[in-house]
Amino acid sequence: MLQQTTVAAVIPFFERWMARFPKVEVLAAASEDEVLTYWQGLGYYSRARNIHQAAEMITDHGWPDSVEGLRALPGIGAYTAGAVGSIAFGWDVPLVDGNVERVFARLTVCYESGSKLNRLAWDWAHGVLAKGHAGDWNQALMELGATVCRPVNPSCVDCPVSNSCFAFASDLVNELPVPKKKTEWVELRHIVVVPICEGKFGVRRVPEGRWWQGMWEFPREEDSVPGLDELAGLLGSGWEELGKIKHVVTKHKITVRVFIVRLESEVSGLEWVAPEDLDGLALPAPTAKIARMLYGELGLLV
């Protein structure tokens, strides 16, 4: 939950999650839909699907006994495997997060950035690991980065390792680490059509291989965006444009044009749900925004 999210934002989600899924076996036995519902609001839903699958694998085969075994679980990368291995299981394994990268760059005056900085920081973390106390050591390194060797205004005068810090000795602290290259944004345009029939909305499962796979959404076109004339031909009569929403996923800025179409009979291939039942479905953030447009800000449009 803490990947890409702050501790303060996570706490209420974590507490609800632990109350519902107190043991790995309970999580494994839950449906994916329910797991996604408990994740709703945290974004990056692949993490919820991964932890669910990992719980199933652990329930079936037991807990891994090595970093490689942890990394074989879905959603566990090098950092998480190091954190779980050293802190939860007491193994002599290092970890590198953004805080450790920064401490490393300053202590050693490393001018690399991005993946090269990360690789060098891992080599360094292996070399300096306090064997027998790896969990405490790793937490101390991360805390040093989070509270003393901060990105801006580090407290070098209070720093317990200032005597060994080459950036401090050379007055280079504020130059390091060097910034990563700027994100190159990709602009995307999607069209969403909300079918309405006899007071119900038509929704579908997001197909495999697309963002938000397995969740529920109004039919969405993401590859080719038809022009208005073409769209009118596709929708027939009884459609109107509702508005636009904007959404960001990783480096993609998505503009979604939202249309509603009123149908005389339910079409197949969609599930038809009453507005009050939409909340019970696992909805990706853009779909939840559209639902709010439909029956919140604009008044119920069914």
Chosen residue from 95, 105, 149, 203 binding ligand SF4 by CB under 6 A: 149
Closest CA to 121 of 142, 135, 150: 142
DSSP states of 107-156: HHT----HHHHHHHHHHHHHHH--TT-HHHHHHHHHHIIIIIS-SSS--G
d(Cα 224, Cα 287) in Å, to the nearest integer?
Answer: 19
Closer residue to ligand SF4 in complex, CB, 120/273: 120
What are the two backbone dihedrals, phi and then psi, of residue 200, each rounded to the nearest 5 degrees? -120, 155
What mask, x for binding ligand SF4 by CB under 6 A, covers residues 84 to 123?
Answer: -------------------x--xx----------------
**Binding window for ligand SF4 (CB under 6 A); candidates: 60-68, 129-137, 155-163, 201-209:** 155-163
DSSP states of 168-228: HHTT-GGG-SPPPPPP--EEEEEEEEEEEETTEEEEEEPPTTSTTTTSEES-EE-S----H
Closer residue to ligand SF4 in complex, CB, 7/152: 152
d(Cα 31, Cα 212) in Å, to the nearest integer?
Answer: 16
CA-based diameter of the chain, in Å?
77
Q: Any contact of residue 167 with ligand SF4 (CB under 6 A)?
A: yes
Chosen residue from 57, 156, 273, 302 binding ligand SF4 by CB under 6 A: 156
Closer residue to ligand SF4 in complex, CB, 148/225: 148
268 is written with which tokens?
A: 């197949």
Q: Any contact of residue 42 with ligand SF4 (CB under 6 A)?
A: no
Q: Whole-number minimum distance, CB 110 to ligand SF4, in Å?
A: 12
Q: Whole-number minimum distance, CB 117 to ligand SF4, in Å?
A: 15
Chosen residue from 162, 235, 242, 270 binding ligand SF4 by CB under 6 A: 162
Q: Any contact of residue 1 with ligand SF4 (CB under 6 A)?
A: no
What SS3 state is found at 246? strand
Q: Whole-number minimum distance, CB 174 to ligand SF4, in Å?
A: 9
What are the two backbone dihedrals, phi and then psi, of residue 203, each rounded to the nearest 5 degrees? -130, 165
Q: Any contact of residue 52 with ligand SF4 (CB under 6 A)?
A: no
Chosen residue from 93, 173, 260, 278 binding ligand SF4 by CB under 6 A: 173
86 is written with which tokens?
A: 């050293």
Q: Any contact of residue 154 with ligand SF4 (CB under 6 A)?
A: yes
Contact residues for ligand SF4 (CB under 6 A)? 103, 106-107, 148-149, 154, 156, 159, 161-162, 165, 167-168, 173
